[in-house]
């Protein structure tokens, strides 16, 4: 994937080469393809691109903070209580099991009151002491009274050391690294490193040639002659050279005949190019020298089978 996920690049090793010397790029937004031919740079079958990597000059991470993860991994602790006693403005709460609370934590007492108390025991309080594993105290200014109604005591526990250990193993996996100022980097057979650009049209002052070959058409009747009157393309850019061939499909450079040179604009437009060629099979090629083009679609229009074998 190219910088900012804008293009999908496929680097091709030709049949007669040991390294990549061609690349196809798919524009994710428009669906158009472009091709880069690097044979001007690597001129022999034993030279070419050996490594492709997407690199960024910086990065940042998105996701929950470490503390958020820890709090999520450290749920509140709730214990049942069997009653509360208020004496001299101090409330002692007794739990039915060991509470595990510590001095200074905030405890929320709920459903403790039966309704007959002068002052409710329920509420949020700071734990003043924990005299035993099943008792805790907090301050509350009110008359002395007691309540044996059952309820709950809840404390949002602070993360323990074990919580940190448990969460640290997954926190990194929950983050997403985003590269900034991404660049495609190429390494070649000679050990050189290059920065690839999908918009540059020159390399060291030399025009980068580009070309694209279509599939071979035979209309499902490879033994019969056809008339190919028109080729329709949807393209944008500055200029594109259109060629066709009716044989030598297994080669790269053999058999091409130029039949049009089409000027393009900055917007994708349809162009119907007159061809009028008769053959059993046909293949088209799109080329440029010092120009650029992008083609989103192409097809022969109204081909006819003549019936001759």
Q: What is the pLDDT of residue 58?
A: 65
Rounded to 5 degrees, φ, ψ at 191 are 90, 10
How far, in Å, CA of 37 to CA of 95, rounded? 78
Any domain includes 189: yes
Per the confidence metrics, is the pTM higher than 0.75? no
Q: Which domain holds residue 120?
A: 69-162
Q: What is the pLDDT of residue 172?
A: 64
Residue (of 129, 149, 128) closest to 80 by Cα position = 149
Whether 188 and 52 share a structural domain: yes
Find the Cα–Cα–Cα–Cα dihedral 156, 162, 164, 168, rounded to 10°.
-130
How far, in Å, CA of 89 to CA of 110, rounded? 19
Q: What is the pLDDT of residue 157?
A: 66
Whether 201 and 277 share a structural domain: no
**CA pseudo-torsion sign 142, 145, 151, 154:** positive
Q: What is the pLDDT of residue 253?
A: 80
HSE, side-chain direction, 13 A CA sphere, residue 285: 18
Whether 113 and 244 share a structural domain: no
Give the pLDDT confidence of 51-72 residue by residue, as tens digits: 988 776 566 677 766 666 655 5
Q: What is the pLDDT of residue 263?
A: 94
Domain boundary (162, 196, 230) is at: 162
**Ranges of residues in the chain whose predicted pLDDT is under 70:** 1-6, 30-34, 56-60, 64-76, 149, 157-174, 178-181, 198-201, 307-309
Domain count, the chain: 3
Q: What is the pLDDT of residue 298?
A: 93
């Amino acid at each position: 994937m190219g910088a900012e996920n804008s293009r999908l690049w496929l680097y091709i090793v030709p049949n007669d080469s040991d390294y990549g010397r061609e690349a196809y790029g798919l524009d994710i937004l428009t669906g158009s393809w472009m091709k880069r031919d690097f044979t001007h740079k690597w001129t022999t079958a034993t030279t070419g691109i050996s490594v492709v990597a997407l690199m960024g000059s910086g990065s940042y991470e998105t996701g929950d903070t470490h503390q958020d993860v820890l709090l999520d991994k450290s749920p509140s602790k709730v214990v049942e209580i069997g009653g509360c006693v208020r004496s001299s403005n101090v409330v002692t709460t007794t739990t039915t099991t060991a509470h595990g609370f510590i001095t200074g934590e905030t405890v929320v007492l709920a459903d403790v009151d039966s309704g007959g108390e002068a002052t409710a025991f329920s509420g949020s309080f700071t734990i003043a002491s924990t005299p035993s594993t099943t008792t805790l105290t907090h301050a509350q200014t009110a008359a002395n009274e007691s309540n044996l109604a059952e309820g709950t005591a809840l404390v949002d526990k602070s993360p323990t050391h074990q919580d940190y250990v448990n969460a640290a193993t997954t926190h990194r996996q929950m983050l997403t690294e985003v590269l900034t100022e991404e660049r495609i980097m190429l390494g070649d057979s000679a050990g050189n490193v290059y920065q690839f650009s999908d918009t540059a049209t020159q390399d060291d002052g030399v025009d980068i040639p580009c070309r694209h070959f279509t599939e071979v058409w035979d209309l499902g009747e490879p033994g019969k002659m056809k008339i190919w009157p028109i080729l329709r393309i949807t393209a944008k850019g500055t200029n594109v050279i259109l060629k066709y061939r009716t044989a030598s499909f297994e080669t790269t450079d053999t058999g091409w005949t130029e039949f049009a040179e089409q000027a393009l604009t900055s917007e994708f437009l349809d162009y119907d190019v007159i061809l009028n060629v008769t053959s059993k099979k046909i293949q088209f090629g799109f080329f440029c020298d010092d120009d650029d083009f992008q083609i989103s679609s192409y097809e022969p229009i109204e081909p006819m089978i003549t019936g001759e074998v």
